[in-house]
């Protein structure tokens, strides 16, 4: 019986990644444009327009989805969206899901005065360290409104007190 093996990541791509010390490649997939998407222990590496890679740490991925051959990634705090067509996805979609989920320490949805709500998320970087907090306000709410921001900050302080985070 012959075992199927995933294709190795080309050396030129591995060199272009400039991995940090201790960072390992977990999964990779070729893109329609001839580059690669690479999931490492600390970040998702996406092809950039300049020919290199954009590194998105796992705790900065707000949402990721896989549909019809496309990997869709939304960064936290209004960061950019990435849409990449994978020709042979391999284990990249599953690895992305597992890695993003592993960073989540706490999520909480709260109602805000005047209607609408905010999702508060606490995420821990893959390499460890303190919890990083983010607010995602529902559509139609201004995240720069000082009143809404103050209310969300108060909810966060209450959550931190209750959880010890």
| Mean pLDDT, 10 residues at a time, the chain of 165 residues | 61 88 94 93 92 91 93 87 94 96 95 92 91 91 92 96 93
What's the pLDDT score for residue 76? 84
pLDDT for residue 77: 72
Q: State residue 4's pLDDT score.
A: 46
Task: State the pLDDT at residue 6.
Answer: 57
Distance (Å, whole) CA 103 – CA 13: 26
| Full strand arrangement of the beta sheet holding 43-47 | 25-30, 36-40, 43-47, 53-57
Does the reported pTM lie above 0.85? no
Write the CA distances from 132 to 57, 85, 143, 165, integer angstroms. 12, 30, 18, 10
Residue 78 pLDDT: 73
pLDDT of amino acid 8: 85
Q: Determine the Cα–Cα distance for residues 70 and 84; give it in Å rounded to an integer.
A: 6
Following CA atoms 28, 31, 36, 41 in sequence, which dihedral angle do they give, to the nearest 10 degrees?
Answer: -40
- How far apart, in whole angstroms, are the C-alpha atoms of residue 72 and residue 61? 10
């Amino acid at each position: 019986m012959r075992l199927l093996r995933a294709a190795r990541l080309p050396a030129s791509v591995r060199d272009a990644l400039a991995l940090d010390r201790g960072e390992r490649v977990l999964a990779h997939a070729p893109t329609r444009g001839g580059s690669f998407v690479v999931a490492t222990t600390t970040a998702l590496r996406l092809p950039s327009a300049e020919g290199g890679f954009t590194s998105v740490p796992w705790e900065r991925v707000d949402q990721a989805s896989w549909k019809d051959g496309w990997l869709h990634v939304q960064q936290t705090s209004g960061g950019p969206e990435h849409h990449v067509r994978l020709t042979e996805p391999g284990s990249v979609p599953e690895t992305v899901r597992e890695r993003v989920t592993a960073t989540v320490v706490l999520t909480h949805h709260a109602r805000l005065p005047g209607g609408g709500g905010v999702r508060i998320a606490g995420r821990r970087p893959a390499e460890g360290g303190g919890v990083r907090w983010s607010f995602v306000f529902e559509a139609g709410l201004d995240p720069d409104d000082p009143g809404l921001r103050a209310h969300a900050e108060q909810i966060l302080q209450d959550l931190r007190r209750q959880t010890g985070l």
